[in-house]
A = this chain, B = another copy of it.
Amino acid sequence: MAALPVFTVVLLALGFSRGFQHHFVEEEPELVAGPSQYGSLWPLPQKVHISDVSFKLSSSNFQITDAKESSAGPSCNLLQSAYRRYYEYVFVGPKNQKRGRDQPAGPSEVTELQVWITSPDSDCDSFPTESSDESYELSVDQPVAVLKAPKVWGALHGLETFSQLVYEDEFGAKTINSTVISDFPRFAHRGVLLDSSRHFIPVKVILANLETMAMNKFNIFHWHIVDDSSFPYLSQTFPQLSEKVRNRDGYRIRYFLRYRPNSIVPTEHRFTSFETVPRFGILNETSVDWKSNPDIQKFMEQQGFGQDFTKLESFYIQRLLDIVTTTQKGYMIWQEVFDNGVKLKPDTLIHVWKGNQQSYQREMANITSAGYRTLLSSPWYLNRIAYGQDWQAIYKADPQDFKGTDDQKKLVIGGEACLWGEFVDATNLTPRLWPRACAVAERLWSAKEVTDTNDAFNRLAVHRCRLVERGIPAQPLYTSYCPREYKGI
């Protein structure tokens, strides 16, 4: 069979740059990455001094060890497994470094990172609490770098910071500069909300995102596990709850609490919160259902509610809060419970998620003025997507940026990046969350004054390449390239 002539279209992309605004006009200016004086540290520590003096690290001549004075030793599996993990992160990348592996340590080489837990109780076997100490101090010198922290929580953060200080020189050799860092979080509550009700999220995806949270010093995993759409929580006590689960798979929570024996939930994350009774529909109590349900109509008559479903709702919530109170647990509510005037315990935590900037700032002012503690999510609904560098707006929002007294500001305990699940599943969750959630992470960890968007861009561009190197498909911020690009599809 004779081959027909090939019709090749030669596409001439002609026209000036005016004609090539394929990029469109952005609300935020497009930034182009350059080097930051803070390297690729993310989130930026409270106090950093990086000198020009640099040392090498060699995979054959480097170890992470317990300082002999440390209150945590070889029996602290939490730290030991973190040492192994961060050793891998430090030496991620091509294995064939230019420098000979058997070469003895030179005078300018860091051969050891000593981890020193200074408090008598390291917290190694504890679950973290709201007031756990997450601070640490890191001193990088040769031949020994020292990481000091009162508790294991700070040590875990410091290990991440140490790994972020390591870079490759022009020959690919792992390098670190002489550095002194003193660090602690600005806010105690730094969370990410994932929603496994609208789409099932495979366990391995959740675990990978827990790891990524730790790389960004998040400490709360807020798991919106069930909702109207599906009930994938498999309760051992009430198995009938999940009988009507529409997904084939479900979560056995024990598995998560045991992820990395004795560790991940209580370590990288202060505590894990599970939402209970997230919406009424699943209990056949959406407002529509309520109206059409004769039992509920009868109940409302008995209670004298008339046709006022708000009263029914308040009744329901009040009962629920009473029950929760008997469990001696704290509780956290979405803002509308406060807005609707339901009676709340003084230690109630109120989650602000509605409205534009003006509106959520007013809400934060009202809540704190009433003496309640609060956390912010309104500007951090990362399920909302837009074309361009939307991380900048995410980065600029500040939970303490509202009109109020210093005492009011102290009632702000942090915030959460929320990724609701209507349009998200395992196919797109991770790149949609990262590095956009990184912007929230820095806002919640770093000092209030850390607001230089250009410097943030420079550090974040490299940080996102680091996530990619660690196997996390974090999407690009803008036109760019990584030393080692993502290997999946």
Name the CB-closest residue of B to A471: B489
- A50 CB-CB contact with B under 8 Å: no
Q: Is the CB of B481 within 8 A of A330?
A: no
Contacting residues, chain B, for A247 (C-beta < 8 A):
481
Q: Is the CB of A485 within 8 A of B381?
A: no
Q: Is the CB of A330 within 8 A of B198?
A: no
Contacting residues, chain B, for A386 (C-beta < 8 A):
385-387
Compute how far the CA of A200 lies from the CA of B22 in the bound complex, rounded to whole angstroms. 18
Q: Give a binary string over A142-185; 1 marks a CB under 8 Å from any B CB, 0 the rest.
A: 00000000000000000000000000000000000000000000
Contacting residues, chain B, for A468 (C-beta < 8 A):
427
Provided the pairs A205-B489, A273-B8, A386-B386 are in contact, do residues A15 and B340 lie with their beta carbons within 8 angstroms?
Answer: yes
Name the residue among A3, A15, A425, A489 with the largest chain B CB count within 10 angstroms: A489
- A401 CB-CB contact with B under 8 Å: no
Compute how far the CA of A117 lies from the CA of B125 in the bound complex, rounded to whole angstroms. 71
Q: Is the CB of B313 within 8 A of A1?
A: no
Contacting residues, chain B, for A229 (C-beta < 8 A):
479
Compute how far the CA of A436 lies from the CA of B379 in the bound complex, rounded to whole angstroms. 27
CB distance from A431 to the nearest CB of B (A): 4
Q: Is the CB of A387 within 8 A of B384?
A: yes
- A423 CB-CB contact with B under 8 Å: yes
- A238 CB-CB contact with B under 8 Å: no
Q: Considering the complex, which residues of chain A in the window 1-51 have a beta carbon less than 8 Å from any beta carbon of chain B?
A: 1-20, 22-24
Contacting residues, chain B, for A317 (C-beta < 8 A):
12, 14
Q: Is the CB of B425 within 8 A of A486?
A: yes
Name the CB-closest residue of B to A124: B1
Task: State the number of copies, please.
Answer: 2
Q: Is the CB of B273 within 8 A of A9?
A: yes
Compute how far the CA of A17 lies from the CA of B334 in the bound complex, rounded to whole angstroms. 12
Interface residues on A, range: 35 or more
- A305 CB-CB contact with B under 8 Å: no
Chain A at the B interface: mostly helix, strand, loop or mixed?
loop
CB distance from A460 to the nearest CB of B (A): 14
Q: Give a binary string over A214-248; 1 marks a CB under 8 Å from any B CB, 0 the rest.
A: 00000000101000011000000000000000111
- A321 CB-CB contact with B under 8 Å: yes
Q: Is the CB of B13 within 8 A of A334?
A: yes
Compute how far the CA of A424 lies from the CA of B481 in the bound complex, rounded to whole angstroms. 11
Q: Is the CB of B332 within 8 A of A10?
A: yes
- A259 CB-CB contact with B under 8 Å: no
- A404 CB-CB contact with B under 8 Å: no
Compute how far the CA of A333 lies from the CA of B10 in the bound complex, rounded to whole angstroms. 8
- A186 CB-CB contact with B under 8 Å: no
Cβ contacts A to B, 9 pairs, < 8 Å: A10-B276, A13-B275, A14-B333, A200-B481, A423-B476, A423-B478, A425-B486, A426-B487, A427-B475
A residues lining the B interface (CB < 8 Å): 1-20, 22-24, 121-127, 129-130, 198-200, 202, 204-205, 208, 222, 224, 229-230, 246-249, 271-281, 286-287, 309, 313, 317, 320-321, 324, 327, 329-334, 336-337, 340, 342, 349, 351, 353, 381, 383-388, 418, 420-428, 430-432, 468, 471-481, 483, 485-489
| 5 smallest beta-carbon distances between A and B, as pairs | A427-B473, A13-B278, A428-B431, A15-B336, A19-B336
